[in-house]
Structure 1
């Protein structure tokens, strides 16, 4: 049995397979997932699991170099934004870039995987860019 908090087999496998610069997206329940991109669907019902819980668990195993958010997140101010700001301040998310929501959806086409949460707050999406631990 694993000692770290991330127990989902598919998600653990994807995180372990990431190379420098690969993108893993954690998204809300409404974000479309492009054909051909692996979907790890964790959504059970509205809000379960929530975006922040999934993000915090992924960060226990993933080295993040940078992250990308939709500009619209700054307008809507979903609750997850405060957590993202705190994680950025603590150095857990590296540099931050903003794209339009449409451009973020286009970025998802090149993601190694998209992790769908049950989050129902609009624009609660992040693209995590893998870093290296050395």
Structure 2
């Protein structure tokens, strides 16, 4: 059993096998996940765990070079968007971010290494993590 870091075995294994340029998606409770796309269900109840809490834990273990969010997030969930940017600034790596439409974000899910569904209930609170390399 891990003493620290990611304690969830599936999540820990996902991070261990992620390679440069692969993507992992952190999703809210409502994001439709395409059939056949690997998923890890973490949601316990509305808001638990929050996506930003899961993101902070993952950023402590995974090299991420960029994140992608839906452009609608800034308009529909501005406080959450600001907290996301704060979380990225506190990450061990320098992480850039970009925005695409929510429809484009959903269309990219089938290419993800996995989707991690959280208990997040904030509108448009989904993040694509673009894995980096540790050298």
TM-score range, shorter chain: over 0.9
The match for 1:125 is 126
The offset of 1:12, in angstroms, is: 0.6
Q: How many residues align?
A: 134
Q: Is the contact between residue 48 and residue 119 of structure 2 (CA under 8 Å) also seen in structure 1?
A: yes
Q: Is the contact between residue 26 and residue 118 of structure 2 (CA under 8 Å) also seen in structure 1?
A: yes
CA RMSD of aligned residues (A): 1.5
CA offsets 1:71-112 (integer angstroms, 9 cap, x no match): 000111254322221133346461211110000001111000
- Structure 2: runs of 5+ lacking an equivalent: none
Q: 2: CA distance between counterparts of 1:133 and 1:116?
A: 26
Secondary structure (helix, strand or coil) at the match of 2:24 reads: strand
Q: Is the contact between residue 78 and residue 124 of structure 1 (CA under 8 Å) also seen in structure 2?
A: no
Q: Is the contact between residue 15 and residue 62 of structure 2 (CA under 8 Å) also seen in structure 1?
A: yes
Q: Is the contact between residue 56 and residue 87 of structure 2 (CA under 8 Å) also seen in structure 1?
A: no
TM-score by length of 1: 0.93
Secondary structure (helix, strand or coil) at the match of 1:47 reads: coil
